[in-house]
Structure 1
């Protein structure tokens, strides 16, 4: 075993003092962190990062507050860290409340098509239907880069002013009307409802019932189209046959059981979506009401259930997958600063009428 003298192994006192001072200088030279800047400005660290990277979607007032905090703390960004952050994979969240819904399935197909092509990660997030706003805020503050919001949560987020309160870009998917503070991709629901009502009117129907969706801008838009079509045909609207129900098969069953009585005074029903229309067909056939000979029924969206029942549904084909794909492309362009800053835009896609066996001439 080799041995060394103690004086050869121990550093001198002067060397120890020099090393210790060096360590102290290195510790003392550490400046404020991005977390400290965020705390000083009262925002999240992600917001500070967005400002420093000159992201165009940051609220101007927020940008000013962050830059003042940077100046006050004499913060110097770590260029290496910023380069790593710029190279990271973007994470986009798609919020939903029902994994089994046809709407989510279609939108998921479109979003995945775009994210796969653009090299972006798609994250599915479930929101609490009893606290949708709180759910969005939780996701927005948890490191997501952008959000895709389907109906009706996009409409609720817009009304609550979330795009102004969070520097996470949000895009609405298929809202019932344009949103004042976020981009959206949609069809013209009012015109689609008008054309669907005209289709029934042209078949001779004059007593046309309608099912609207609760707390949704789409309900107001489609109701306007329905009322306008009736007015143009000289038909006086009867609001007693305009009902409201959640957009589910179960809700449709409950409503249909109540309104499809022997004394009904309508010959056609425009349901809020295909699931509800399928429920009406189910109850009508069980009550021995012939569809379409005694009662015509229409859906909306043209989801798979529209052709899985008999008679197959007349409906409006809303291209949900295309809507989600275009919304994802738009969101990624914003996040990558490929889009110049501009007011919220509505991107319209085409819809089409699909006439099948659930509608026919009005009974005489």
Structure 2
């Protein structure tokens, strides 16, 4: 794994961070760093995540990758990410590294600035990449821009909310997942269920439809006032929770857009003397590490991002090795409804 070079000529890596430096930053041994790079199954998930973060932070380039960089015959797959999305990045890296190591392909990672995301992608693609992996929700926005036609390389989208017309994708069925989670809350006796919509995303639209379908299926009427809007960040969850969790709040359950946002709702609810889940039940989405690090632990939907990234990388490499393959066929992976302590039965009125 490495970061993108600035030009199109493939050169050997210059001297930079060492494995020992990565080990010191991650608080592990150099052998553990080696085991992560080589995808040894013996490494604990939390340790793997710490090492991958250190590799990204130090721009560490393993010697094997540096040797591969000099070979024009080595396929080079690019993956873009944002620094703020550490849980998402870690999961994607685990899956993409597993596939590229298994198939003898080089993985190159590059950050992007949300303000210049499209230009960043175009510049990254021009660094002699053979294929590109785009994370959510960036893949949805880039597809809608029409810019993918300017790239001469195949793209695979990770976890978009629907099939995209100009790129293949690997995803869960977000509409079905939201339907299952909403139905479960209804089975627990909840009727006033607030839904947090992720704005300007296909994922948000698909999950909203699942929420609405569950209400219709169970004979409940949607209240538009219970559809709230916020981006899937802890900070924005805090702002929304501060505005909505007021005395006499007319909801018994809240479906947050992701686990970070759900954690923010739990934080504000507890600070305001509300019991979770007795006074208000809260659910997340993704089953990221924070879901089991807070109390109460979160009921959520497990979206297997590492598996999605691995399958997407497999798909992209297969497309490169078989140029005639269909580049727009979506592939689905299973989601899982995870029930924990943040939801309980609602007593009958």
Which interval holds the TM-score relative to the shorter structure?
Answer: 0.7 to 0.9
Residue 141 (str. 1) matches residue 126 (str. 2): yes
Question: Partners of 1:343 and 1:124 in 2: how far apart?
Answer: 22
Q: Structure 2 length normalisation: TM-score?
A: 0.78
Question: Partners of 1:99 and 1:126 in 2: how far apart?
Answer: 10
Match of 1:96 among 81, 84, 102: 81
- SS of 2:92's partner is helix
Residue 157 (str. 1) matches residue 157 (str. 2): no
Match of 1:356 among 335, 340, 344: 340
- SS of 1:341's partner is coil
Residue 278 (str. 1) matches residue 263 (str. 2): yes
Question: Partners of 2:103 and 2:149 in 1: how far apart?
Answer: 27
- Do the aligned partners of residues 173 and 228 (structure 1) sit closer, same or farther apart at CA in structure 2, a change above 3 Å counting? same
Match of 2:286 among 288, 301, 306: 301
Residue in structure 2 matched with residue 169 of structure 1 by the alignment: 154
Residue 266 (str. 1) matches residue 258 (str. 2): no
Q: What pairs with 1:189-208 in structure 2 (closer than 5 Å)?
A: 189-208=174-193
Q: Structure 1 length normalisation: TM-score?
A: 0.75
Question: Partners of 2:341 and 2:197 in 1: how far apart?
Answer: 23
Question: Partners of 2:182 and 2:151 in 1: how far apart?
Answer: 40
Q: Cα offset for 1:342?
A: 2.4
Question: Partners of 2:166 and 2:85 in 1: how far apart?
Answer: 30
Q: Cα offset for 1:87?
A: 5.4
Question: Partners of 2:111 and 2:327 in 1: how far apart?
Answer: 29
Match of 1:130 among 115, 121, 133: 115
- SS of 2:94's partner is helix
Question: Partners of 2:71 and 2:324 in 1: how far apart?
Answer: 18
Q: What pairs with 1:7-46 in structure 2 (closer than 5 Å)?
A: none
- SS of 1:131's partner is helix
Residue in structure 2 matched with residue 59 of structure 1 by the alignment: none
Residue 340 (str. 1) matches residue 310 (str. 2): no
Question: Partners of 1:197 and 1:120 in 2: how far apart?
Answer: 41
- Do the aligned partners of residues 271 and 99 (structure 1) sit closer, same or farther apart at CA in structure 2, a change above 3 Å counting? closer
Q: Based on CA coordinates, which of the two structures has the bigger radius of gyration?
A: 1
Gaps of 5+ in 1: 1-44, 47-84
Question: Partners of 1:185 and 1:86 in 2: how far apart?
Answer: 29
Q: Is the 8 A contact 2:319 2:327 kept in 1?
A: no
Question: Partners of 1:95 and 1:215 in 2: how far apart?
Answer: 20
Residue in structure 1 matched with residue 65 of structure 2 by the alignment: none
Residue in structure 2 matched with residue 323 of structure 1 by the alignment: 308
Question: Partners of 2:128 and 2:327 in 1: how far apart?
Answer: 25
Residue in structure 1 matched with residue 295 of structure 2 by the alignment: 310
Gaps of 5+ in 2: 1-7, 10-69
Question: Partners of 2:196 and 2:80 in 1: how far apart?
Answer: 25
Match of 1:238 among 210, 217, 223: 223
Question: Partners of 1:98 and 1:236 in 2: how far apart?
Answer: 40
Residue 256 (str. 1) matches residue 241 (str. 2): yes
Figure out how many residues of one structure are paired with residues of the other and give that number: 282
Question: Partners of 2:158 and 2:261 in 1: how far apart?
Answer: 21
- Do the aligned partners of residues 342 and 100 (structure 1) sit closer, same or farther apart at CA in structure 2, a change above 3 Å counting? closer
Q: Is the 8 A contact 2:154 2:327 kept in 1?
A: no
Q: What pairs with 1:209-220 in structure 2 (closer than 5 Å)?
A: 209-220=194-205
Q: Cα offset for 1:119?
A: 1.0
Q: Is the 8 A contact 2:80 2:133 kept in 1?
A: yes
Q: Cα offset for 1:100?
A: 4.9
**Backbone CA RMSD of aligned residues:** 1.8
Question: Partners of 1:302 and 1:185 in 2: how far apart?
Answer: 18
Match of 2:106 among 113, 121, 124: 121
- SS of 2:162's partner is coil
